[in-house]
A and B are shown apart, each in its own frame.
Chain A
Amino acid sequence: MLKDVTLGQYFPGDTIVHRLDPRTKLFCVVLYIVEIFTANTVCGVLLSIATLVMAVLLSKTTLRQLMKGMKPLLFIIILTGLLNLFYTTGDTLVKIWFLTITRQGVYKSLQMVSRIIMLICGSFLLTLTTSPLSITDGLERLLNPLKKVGLPVHELSMMMSIALRFIPTLMEETDKIMSAQKARGADFETGSIFRRARALLPVLVPLFVSAFRRADELATAMECRCYHGGEGRTRMKELSMHTRDALCLLLFAALLGAVITLRVLGI
């Protein structure tokens, strides 16, 4: 049951999008988000949509995977669309009772909805094609200059990797403990909200006990292998930029440039 919850939604694959350096992908997502919010003309929006479609096709991501990421936010998307549709003043198109739909409203609501959808799909594409560990690796390298101002970049990213690494483990453990308590007749599905909250106690207590035990064991194991923080530490998988990364960055910069030009020209 808990296995269906996707937190690290990474789907392994071997496409050009999967092979890009995580730093490139992080940068491109930032560039793309700027692009989405700069685009205010029809051409600009269409160009942004085209960019996304291209990336989706290249990564061989299925529509179903993208929809899965969209589902929890569907309500917000619809609400934004409706609010913009009815509350924008301008030339009236249709008037039903107290609700008026204006031409500007239709335009604005389409723009907002497409913006949100592109934003979600774009960032979702990053997590779908990049394993959580390479994202943290990329982040660590990108934030490296901040070490000079005293930010413990390595420690933060190590904490993040460990947390990410243990999400599946803890989920599995929760699943196991829930099964064990269900086997003893625990009921998590019926009763009032208080009853259900109380029913979780037999799951939470063992879960916390084991999380602390694991943390303790992990710390010992790391010390046994002489872990002493980030100073002078080398990596097994060095991140390296290739031609494709440079091309990809150039492409996204060019697209942003194009969208800015379209905005200035107002087409």
Chain B
Amino acid sequence: MAEIRLEQLRHVYSQGTPFEKVALDCINLTIPSNQLLVLLGHTGSGKSTLVQHLNGLLKPTSGSVLLDGQDIHRSKQALHETRFQVGLVMQYPEYQLFEETVYKDIAFGPSNMGLKGSELEEHVRLGANFAGVSEELFDKSPLDLSGGQKRRVAIAGVLAMKPGILILDEPTAGLDPAGCDDILANVKRYKEETGSTVILISHNMNAAAAIAERIVVVCKGNIALDGTPDEVFARARELREMGLQIPDATTVRLLLRDKGFAMPDGISTAQELVDAVMALKGGKN
């Protein structure tokens, strides 16, 4: 489907004033299609700035963003099309809802694409379905919904554009655990059923470990670590130095190893931990 590549990307906020701040220093990153990538990083590390470059909301100070090998800033038209191919769900997206009804709000994106009639309806239903918005809510005002429902409607609004690359900036922030799992499961389902790329910013290490195929750690505007969850979480000490947590299962593994148990590397989910402990027990018996 779509491959996105960042070359020598650099972004400086308020250049030429006393408030100047280098948000991204020199980012080189290639994200192949149909990958589920999780971006980790401390608050203020530049994650959000990075993803806002991917759909052209921010223009790089220098460097380029290539979608399928072509610069997304080559023309106004190209930039407009990019917005539909690279769907971005911002932080706390529920604050962007504005229409009178849930249906109309979800339809905002696809109708900006120029869709009408049954095609539009099909897109709206698809978005609602993937985001877990039931059709009974379609005629309600988005302002009357609960926080979790609003979040889902906002995500549906982006999914309804059927983006080949879906970016979610902390989609689970402020939700209860059940709501978190639900949204992450839906995201995963979207990726698998449509073959899209998904880029997820998350602070929830357990969730990141459970669903990521690849993890990129951003620190002070640079890419600090890049690899599979096993590779990244194997470097627990570095992560802690960057002010990041590690998954609970990895913490337990490290504690057990300190106590002298022979624990294998690459444990980041609860299931892997259980398997390893069972194997250890089996070995002793």
Interface residues of A (CB under 8 A from B): 3, 11-12, 173, 176-177, 179-187, 190, 201-203, 205-206, 209-210
Contacts and interface: CB of A to CB of B under 8 A. Distances in A.
Contact of A185 (B18, B52, B93, B113): B113
Contact of B83 (A176, A182, A201): A182
Given A3-B14, A12-B18, A184 B161 contact: yes
B113 A206 contact: no
Contact of A180 (B13, B80, B93): B93
Contacts of B13: 3
Interface string B8-23: 0000011001100000
Nearest to A205: B98
Interface residues of B, number: 29
B20 to A, nearest CB: 12
Interface stretch (B60-68, B84-92, B211-219, B266-274): B84-92
Nearest to A4: B14
Contacts of B161: 184-185
- Determine the main DSSP class of A at the interface with B: helix
Interface of B: 13-14, 17-18, 52, 55, 57, 76, 80, 83-84, 87-90, 93, 95-99, 108-109, 112-113, 143, 157-158, 161
Given A179-B57, A179-B90, A206 B98 contact: yes
B175 to A, nearest CB: 18
- Point out which of B17, B158, B161 has the most chain A C-beta atoms below 10 A from its C-beta: B17
Contacts of A180: 90, 93, 95-96
Contacts of A202: 96, 98-99, 108
A184 B112 contact: yes
B14 to A, nearest CB: 7
B109 A184 contact: yes
A22 to B, nearest CB: 20
Contacts of B143: 209
Given A183-B57, A185-B83, A187-B80, A210 B109 contact: no
Contacts of A206: 95-98
23 contacts: A3-B14, A12-B18, A176-B90, A179-B57, A179-B90, A180-B96, A181-B96, A181-B108, A182-B83, A184-B83, A184-B108, A184-B158, A184-B161, A185-B84, A185-B112, A185-B113, A186-B108, A187-B112, A190-B76, A202-B98, A202-B108, A209-B143, A210-B95
Nearest to B55: A183
B95 A183 contact: no
A190 B77 CA distance: 11
A180 B157 CA distance: 11
Contacts of B90: 176, 179-180, 183
A226 B215 CA distance: 47
B98 A201 contact: yes
Contacts of A187: 80, 112
Contacts of A186: 108, 112
A130 to B, nearest CB: 16
A206 B96 CA distance: 6
